[in-house]
Copies of this chain bind each other. A is one copy, B any other.
Amino acid sequence: DVEVEEAHGGTQSSHRLLAYSDALLSIIATVMILPVAHTKMEADEELDDNLQLLLGTKVAVYLMTFLIVTVAWAAHILFQVIVRIDDTLALLNLACMMLITLLPYTFSLMANFPAHVLGILLFCGCVMVIGLIQSVIVLYAFGRPFLLQHQIQSCEDRSVYRHHILKVLLRVPVMCLLAAVCSFFCYQLSYVLLALVIFLPYISPAEEDPEQVMFYTFLPSEPLSKERVEAFSDGVYAIVATLLILDISEDNVPDPASVQQHFNGSLVAALRSYGSEYLAYLGSFATVGLLWFAHHSLFLQVSRATRAMGLLNTLSLAFVGGLPLAFRLTHELPLAALRDERRAVQASCVLVFGAGVFQLATWVAALQGGGRRTLRPAVRYGGPEHVFMLAKLALYPAVALAAFLLTCVLSRFSVTIFHLMEIATPLAFLLLRLMVRFASALLKHL
């Protein structure tokens, strides 16, 4: 490999480029929760006013942005075909990344002015230029075959591959062109077309067609690269964990003057007033950390990710990306009325439940057909880890559901109880392991 590199002076392995793009894309997708989480909430305002409508719109924008960026990430697979890059390709890729970072902006423009042609045009224009640059990258690389993957490099009829890749790449930009044209006559139709774009990679009847599968990795045995799914997921979990501490560091450092004024100069007393916020932070971090842990345990047993698993994983990540909002809701609200406190806990439960239940669904989808092609033997039906994996993945949905039901029954269920539940869950994980081990030992003895 080093020799190849020496032979073509300026070229470089594309591995780090792909890793960097993955990190960038996962952060772009997730960080868009911040405008939602930072929606100003007054202490005297009730949660179910205009605020709820505003939050609803913002959450919808966040969700769509997340899904769109995921589509862009899936399309960026082309650097699995182009395994060596030179300076031109690296710069073209950076241009592509820059346009992708603009997608959330054009999208929120579109969401704020839904009936305005300009928003739709800007968004579609962005997507079309991205497609154009990606096509240029493909054409450039096929003109210099030493940049391509070994399998294609040694193939005689490379133009078939080129044609096929271009066809798949340009599908989304063409849809956007249609949507842009439609926007002049009937903007509702444009939105239908754009919604199609998001679900296109999952809907299209591809899994059976070997030529289509080929595009997704060029190795029919692995339709989605498991490593890339892991890298993208790690990015989302890491940025969510960090956004939590950002809130604490920005808001909860007392001002020296106010400490002097309100707490007689006692820093301890000033910090004590933030007590509930520390608890909220610990609880939220424990939740994010353990959801990552469950994800990590699951994907360790996955040998190959299908498209359905990819979609379910993306949905789980979209809920994980919403957790900073849950944190914000539950640590801002001890000020507000009791009824709102319950609503905040319920919203948090929904987010945690969504994140957990889609993880579970990913595993269930992998179990289809016995999991022979998708899972390692240990967690398939009858495997030694099967029950334990089920318990691990079902833990968070169960806890969230229980908390939700408790809020309906108990009138005094508070944010504090919710956070204590969150903190206690890691111990449940360890307890679970002990119990499963004990039960299996018991079964062996019988």
A contact set with B: CB distance below 8 Å: 2, 6, 9-10, 12-13, 16-17, 19-20, 23-24, 27-28, 31-32, 34-35, 38, 87-88, 90-91, 94, 97-98, 101-102, 104-105, 108-109, 112-113, 116, 118-119, 230-231, 234-235, 237-239, 241-246, 248-250, 252-256, 259, 267-268, 271, 282, 285-286, 289-290, 292-293, 296-297, 299-300, 376, 378, 384-385, 426, 429-430, 433
Contacts and interface: CB of A to CB of B under 8 A. Distances in A.
B245 A113 contact: no
B296 A16 contact: yes
A101 B353 CA distance: 25
25 contacts: A10-B433, A16-B230, A16-B299, A19-B231, A20-B234, A20-B237, A20-B292, A20-B296, A23-B23, A24-B241, A31-B242, A31-B243, A34-B246, A35-B250, A90-B293, A90-B296, A91-B426, A94-B290, A98-B285, A98-B286, A101-B245, A109-B253, A109-B271, A119-B267, A239-B239
A19 B299 CA distance: 15
A94 B423 CA distance: 13
A430 B234 contact: no
A402 B2 CA distance: 38
A253 B23 contact: no
B248 A94 contact: no
A430 B91 contact: yes
Contact of A238 (B23, B113, B237, B268): B23
A253 B237 CA distance: 27
Given A12-B297, A27-B242, 20 more contacts: A6-B378, A10-B385, A20-B237, A24-B242, A35-B250, A87-B433, A90-B293, A94-B290, A97-B289, A98-B289, A101-B244, A102-B245, A104-B245, A105-B252, A108-B253, A112-B255, A112-B256, A113-B256, A113-B259, A118-B268
Count the copies.
Answer: 2
Given A27-B242, A102-B245, A112 B285 contact: no
Contacts of A24: 238, 241-242
A201 to B, nearest CB: 23
Contacts of A297: 12, 87
A249 B2 CA distance: 43
Given A35-B250, A249-B32, A27 B108 contact: no
A292 B20 CA distance: 9
Residue from the set A28, A235, A242 with the largest chain B CB neighbour count within 10 Å: A242
A20 B109 contact: no
Contacts of A433: 10, 87
Contact of A300 (B12, B256, B292): B12
A250 B391 CA distance: 40
Contacts of A231: 19
Nearest to A12: B300
A235 B87 CA distance: 21
A21 to B, nearest CB: 9
A118 B265 CA distance: 12
A8 to B, nearest CB: 11
Contact of A87 (B12, B245, B430): B430
Nearest to A237: B20
Contacts of A385: 9-10
Q: Which 8 A-B pairs have the closest CB atoms?
A: A23-B238, A94-B289, A101-B245, A27-B242, A24-B238, A20-B234, A105-B249, A118-B267
Residue from the set A239, A253, A289, A385 with the largest chain B CB neighbour count within 10 Å: A253
A116 B267 contact: yes
A2 B377 CA distance: 11
Contacts of A282: 98
A105 B248 contact: yes
A13 to B, nearest CB: 8
Contact of A28 (B19, B118, B245, B430): B245
B285 A101 contact: yes
A98 B91 CA distance: 37
A6 to B, nearest CB: 7
Contacts of A2: 376
A138 to B, nearest CB: 20
A32 B245 CA distance: 9
